[in-house]
Amino acid sequence: DSLGGRLDILVNCAGIQILHKAEEFPFEDYRKVMDVNLDAVFELTQLAGRTMLPQGSGKIINFASMTSFIAGLNVVPYTASKGGVMQLTKAFSNEWAGKGIQVNAVAPGYIMTKMNWEFFHDKQASGGIFRRIAMGRWGEPEDIAAAVLFLASKAAGYMTGVTMPVDGGFLAME
């Protein structure tokens, strides 16, 4: 009620990553990753839809990842969850696009955030990745904010079901 009964934009941007070798990944850690990265996206999107559908409009922006497109090492549940986010985005979009609700996702590349801080400073691990970033730099949080702002704006009025990479050209170097 504090929103006046309206909900115009939902951004599902929470995410966690836990590292273990695939054969040693504890199921408890798997569930933690899936709960935050995928299950919460489903639940919050569904709840938002219950308000947006009657009003005939709304924008939902999910956070996917480069691992929505390619698999990472030691992050099996993260990869699965972010692939799932991309598919949830498409599935909700298919059902709601004709009802005025746009559901899209942003797929950040290697962004200078707390989650990536140690990885960035591991020169051996980050060296190969850096060579694959066509723009020659890691992304900044502002790069992702600009993509979210675009998807939330009228400029993206004819986009739905899209997972938009914001990766400095990382996928183009594949």
Cα–Cα distances (Å) from 112 to 3, 37, 121, 139, 167, in that order, read 33, 19, 11, 6, 12
Phi-psi region of 19 (alpha: psi -120 to 50; beta: other; left: phi over 0): beta
Helices first, then strands: H and E counts in the chain: 6, 4
CA dihedral 14, 20, 24, 25 (to 10 degrees): 0
Question: CB 63: neighbour CB atoms within 10 A?
Answer: 22
For the question of residue 78 being annotated catalytic, the response is: yes
The catalytically annotated residue of 30, 78, 110, 158 is 78
Q: Which of 85, 103, 117 has the alpha carbon at shortest distance from 152?
A: 103
For residues 53 and 99, give the distance between their C-alpha atoms in angstroms, rounded to a whole number. 7
85: nearest Cα among 60, 110, 109: 60
List, by residue number, the catalytic residues. 78
